[in-house]
């Protein structure tokens, strides 16, 4: 078991190491679309990359329909194992729409032996996700 402070320091060390190992500017929240953001997630049990739609229901539906129309392209050309989840519930109970790709192996942010695999997964797959967004953002924003 780790104390809250030890856990916080490990998380900080992971993200600092990730930034140094793969130095680049990620799109993440800088999509220019309200409530439309890319996210990295890494905790004690899992790692994933995601595109979250968190705006009001009307906007979520609008963007979800566009992303669903592009699903064949995302799956065939970028992320074949991406999961579309129109009604995804966060740990806090908030409902969002999410497209995500989990890392299919047991990892933990508290286990430094798994960090390299997670960093490489994040770098490779978020780069592909962002490439998809860059290519189709005009359709998504329209």
Confidence band (pLDDT; 50, 70, 90) for 2?
Answer: confident
- CA 128 centroid distance within chain: 11
Mean pLDDT over 60-86 rounds to: 97
Residue extents of the structural domains in the chain: 4-141
CA-based max dimension of the chain: 49
pTM: 0.93
Of the pLDDT bands very low, low, confident and very high (cuts 50, 70, 90), residue 63 is very high
The arithmetic mean of pLDDT across residues 120-139, rounded, is 97
């Amino acid at each position: 078991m780790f104390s809250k402070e030890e856990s916080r320091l490990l998380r900080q060390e992971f993200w600092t190491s990730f930034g140094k190992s793969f130095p680049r500017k990620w799109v993440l929240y800088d999509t220019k679309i309200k409530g439309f953001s890319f996210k990295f997630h890494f905790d004690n049990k899992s790692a994933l990359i995601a595109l979250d739609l968190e705006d009001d229901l009307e906007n979520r539906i609008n963007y979800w329909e566009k992303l669903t129309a592009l699903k064949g392209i995302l799956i065939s050309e970028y992320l074949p194992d991406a999961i579309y989840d129109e009604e995804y519930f966060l740990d806090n109970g908030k409902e969002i729409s999410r497209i995500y790709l989990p890392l299919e192996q047991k990892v933990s942010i508290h286990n430094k032996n798994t960090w390299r695999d997670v960093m490489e997964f994040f770098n490779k797959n978020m780069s592909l996700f962002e490439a998809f967004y860059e290519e189709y953002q005009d359709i998504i924003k329209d």
